[in-house]
Chain A
Amino acid sequence: MNVPDHLLFASSHEWIDPTDPANAPVGISDRAQEELTDIVYLELPEVGRVLEKGEAFAVVESVKAANDIYAPVSGEVVEVNEALAESPESVNQDPYGMGWMVKIRVSNPDELSDLLNADAYREQIS
């Protein structure tokens, strides 16, 4: 199971790349995409929407079911991965790359310390 070392994870299986907190990509983990399987549709937020930590901000649909995706930290959506509208399967194929969903401007960097690092997340899913 792929868990990149430079990312932080929510226990609900979202990841965030904290390298640039003003422009931090967010997506779902390899484990999450594997459990969802065959992602066929995504409903993503508008640029400018302000998210509260833990708020459902996107819906990912597989043939099986619709699943809410939660904001790992609070912040404003500064970019949305529009390419996923045409190729939702990118989330399955490349969850940490092409499959990113939104970039957010983190409003409260302290919240990043509440997230799991790669080792802790590996332990959660093992």
Chain B
Amino acid sequence: MPVQYEGIAMEHRQVRDRVGIFDISHMGEFEVEGAEAVRWLDARLSNRAASLSIGQGQYTLLLNDAGGVIDDLLLYRLGENHYFMVVNAARVERDRECLIEAKPEAQGVVFRDRSSEYGAVAVQGPESLALWEKIGEEVLLPQRNCLLQQGNALICRTGYTGEDGYEIFAPNEEIGSWWDRLTAAGAAPCGLGARDTLRLEKCYPLNGNDLDEVHTALEAGLAPFVKLDKGDGFVGSSALLAQRDAGIPTRLTALRVIDKAPPLRHGYPILSTSGGPTLSELTSGTLSPSLNVGIGLAYLPLAYSKPGRELLISIRGREFRAEVVKKPFL
């Protein structure tokens, strides 16, 4: 996926106002099958796989022993004992290692990395449903977070922009024709740049920036996707229980600049007092095309993470005022 086709701001507006399409073929896809699949998944992933009915999906996390985030992913239940996982491109190998370490075969579970066989596109925006009818698909789209199988393709009502839409996973040789049909019907091609501004306005964390193996899922604000009361626990659950009881040290926090300032960017230092020591650094930042204001995320000590708290962001040696705000920005 290129950074942009026609320009980030224009592509961003297309998705917020109409409909855009992203080539997300870089995403990884795993398949998990077997009578014990759900038990195996529930011991390895943070959300409750057992609560999925067939055709349903959920956002879930692969954690390390310390509760740090190895990957955030979508898990779908395709059949009685058959699951499909969509993982981040940069984490495919790490994920695969961790999952194979959890010994699927020993528990009668077949794990397959299908990443090289699947391509994918994401169709996002308020007009994405009308577009589905326009290309002549007669089958109804699945409900939010659900999926349907259409020939060799999986149509998932999910996305990473905060707009309604769907993601289509299909064999490599078929994905091009989906792209062609959807763009011909009016979906604007959008790149990585717009994907980042769209997700950041909604405070969806980006793996590798906002999520890492050091900060825990609780610090990242992902508690709704962490089921600490799951019967036998899961990798990372004891560390998270201990952290929950002791209190989390930092929280992934939303910051919005107050005065006119350059776009925020990953790595900019955050100070609590002018000329003071660096409190933290932005894990993500941009100029929100919808709000026309600098926005960013950072792990901040709890004492600094309350909405209304004023902080300073250092940009090329100059300090700009920013305010902690409630998530999401939009």
Smallest Cβ-Cβ distance to A37: which chain B residue? B7
Q: Give Cα A41–Cα B8 distance, bound, in whole angstroms.
A: 15
Highest count of chain B CB atoms <10 Å: which of A43, A64, A66, A85: A64
Contact between chains at A37 and B8 (CB < 8 Å):
yes
Contact at A63–B197, with CB atoms within 8 Å? yes
B262 near A63: Cβ-Cβ < 8 Å:
no
Measured in the bound complex, the distance between the Cα atoms of B11 and A63 in whole Å is 12
Is the CB–CB distance between B4 and A40 below 8 Å?
Answer: no
Q: Is B202 an interface residue (CB 8 A)?
A: no
- Do A63 and B316 form a contact, CB below 8 Å, given A37-B7, A38-B7, A41-B262? no
What A residues does B12 contact at CB under 8 A?
63
Given the complex of chains A and B, what is the CA–CA distance between A66 and B262 in angstroms?
A: 9
The chain A residue with its CB closest to the CB of B6 is A37
**Which residues on the B side are within 8 Å of A38 (C-beta)?**
7-10
Q: Mark B301-319, 1 if CB is under 8 A from A, else 0.
A: 0000000000000001000
Given A40-B287, A41-B287, A43-B316, the answer on whether A61 and B263 have CB atoms closer than 8 Å is: yes
Assembled-state Cα–Cα distance A41/B318 (Å): 15
| CB contacts between A and B, total, < 8 Å | 39
| CB atoms of A37 and B4 under 8 A apart | yes
Distance in angstroms between the alpha carbons of A43 and B261 in the assembled complex:
10
Docked-complex contact A64 and B262, CB < 8 angstroms: no
The proximity string for A residues 66-91 relative to B, scoring 1 for CB distances below 8 Å and 0 otherwise, is 10000000000000000001000000
> Which residue in chain B gives the minimum CB-CB distance to A36?
B7
B4 touches A64 (CB 8 A): yes
In angstroms, Cα B316 to Cα A19, docked, is: 34
B265 within 8 A of A: yes
Q: Which residues of B contact A40 (CB under 8 A)?
A: 263, 287
Compute how far the CA of A46 lies from the CA of B8 in the bound complex, rounded to whole angstroms.
30
A62 at the interface (CB under 8 A from B): yes
Q: B55 within 8 Å of A by Cβ?
A: no
Contacts of A37 in B (CB 8 A): 4, 7-9
Q: Is B35 an interface residue (CB 8 A)?
A: no
Decide: A64 near B287, CB < 8 A? Known: A38-B9, A85-B260: no
A19 to chain B, nearest CB (A): 32
Query: A59 at interface (Cβ–Cβ under 8 A)?
Result: yes
B191 CB to nearest chain A CB (Å): 10
Cα separation A23 to B120 with both chains bound (whole Å): 55
Contact A63 B193 (CB under 8 A): yes
Closest to B12 in A: A63
Of the candidates A59, A63, A66, the one whose C-beta lies within 8 Å of that of B289 is: A63
Q: Is the CB of B265 within 8 A of A63?
A: no
Question: Would you give the 0/1 interface string for B36-67, flagging 1 where the beta carbon is closer than 8 Å to chain A?
Answer: 00000000000000000000000000000000
Residues of A within 8 A of B (CB): 37-38, 40-41, 43, 59, 61-64, 66, 85
27 contacts between A and B (CB under 8 A): A37-B7, A37-B8, A37-B9, A38-B7, A38-B8, A38-B9, A38-B10, A40-B287, A41-B261, A41-B262, A41-B263, A43-B262, A43-B316, A59-B316, A61-B262, A62-B8, A63-B8, A63-B9, A63-B12, A63-B193, A63-B263, A63-B286, A63-B289, A64-B3, A64-B8, A66-B262, A85-B260
Identify the 3 closest CB pairs spanning chains A and B, nearest first. Answer: A37-B7, A38-B9, A63-B8
Binding site for A on B (CB under 8 A): 3-4, 7-10, 12, 193, 197, 260-263, 265, 286-287, 289, 316
Q: A41-B287, A66-B262, A66-B265 are in contact. List 14 more A-B contacts (CB 8 A).
A: A37-B9, A38-B9, A41-B261, A41-B262, A41-B263, A43-B262, A43-B316, A59-B262, A61-B262, A62-B8, A63-B193, A63-B197, A63-B287, A66-B263
